[in-house]
Chains A and B, each alone.
Chain A
Amino acid sequence: AQSVTQLDSQVPVFEEAPVELRCNYSSSVSVYLFWYVQYPNQGLQLLLKYLSGSTLVKGINGFEAEFNKSQTSFHLRKPSVHISDTAEYFCAVRVGGGNKLTFGTGTQLKVEL
């Protein structure tokens, strides 16, 4: 069965600084990878997804992620964060041919002035 590990439960960062949120997955078959963002008291919103092709994926709000098959990672990055990026970020995996999303435990990004 597939699983997702988000090692950092909280990441504090100053505004305009770069940030990286880490995600590692385990699966013996091909996977599709996703990052979702959850703002306070709201549902999850898709930031970006990797299905195939280029390993560098660009998403909304200036975020990007890189699929690294050898390291089984899909880290999320942003070169310069804004206060409005404060939210919880979830990495998720779907095994190729399956229909179930498996989510990580989430990383709380807190952007400070």
Chain B
Amino acid sequence: EAGVAQSPRYKIIEKRQSVAFWCNPISGHATLYWYQQILGQGPKLLIQFQNNGVVDDSQLPKDRFSAERLKGVDSTLKIQPAKLEDSAVYLCASSPVVFSDTQYFGPGTRLTVL
């Protein structure tokens, strides 16, 4: 079974530029999560999708971050414009159902904002 795929693995941008990350969850997984992991901290949930609907986006900075999962499969997270404090690893995870006890994580995208 293929795992959660993310691309790119690394991205370096200047502040005020835009960036997008892509995630393809495990086949058949209805729930998809985006986390932000700042160096020295644990992952923080940004947004959770159930199929193509948003379950929780309470910690998503909506003035600059957006995410979509149009067909209920893969997802894109965008930052526009980026700030220095957005430097982090962005992790995507998926689970079979919304209250699943196990989330399966991708390798993450390391973003550096200069």
Tell me the A residues contacting B by CB distance below 8 Å: 4, 9, 32, 34, 36, 41-46, 49, 51, 90, 92, 94, 99-101, 103-106
Contact = CB atoms under 8 A, between A and B. Distances in A.
Interface residues of B, number: 22
B14 interface: no
A42 B42 CA distance: 14
Interface string B17-61: 000000000000000000000001111110010000001100000
B108 A43 contact: yes
Given A44-B91, A44-B105, A45-B105, A99 B55 contact: yes
Contacts of B98: 99
B107 A101 contact: no
A44 B90 CA distance: 12
Given A43-B4, A43-B108, A99-B48, A90 B102 contact: no
A43 B106 contact: yes
Given A43-B91, A44-B43, A90-B43, A100 B56 contact: yes
B19 to A, nearest CB: 19
Contacts of B93: 43-44
Given A44-B103, A100-B56, 10 more contacts: A32-B101, A36-B105, A43-B3, A43-B91, A43-B105, A44-B105, A101-B45, A101-B103, A105-B42, A106-B40
B45 A100 contact: yes
A99 B41 CA distance: 20
Contacts of A32: 101
Contact of A90 (B40, B42, B56): B42
Most buried by B among A9, A43, A46, A92: A43
A46 B4 contact: no
A103 B55 contact: no
B32 to A, nearest CB: 12
A56 to B, nearest CB: 18
Nearest to A108: B40
Contacts of A106: 40-42
B110 to A, nearest CB: 8
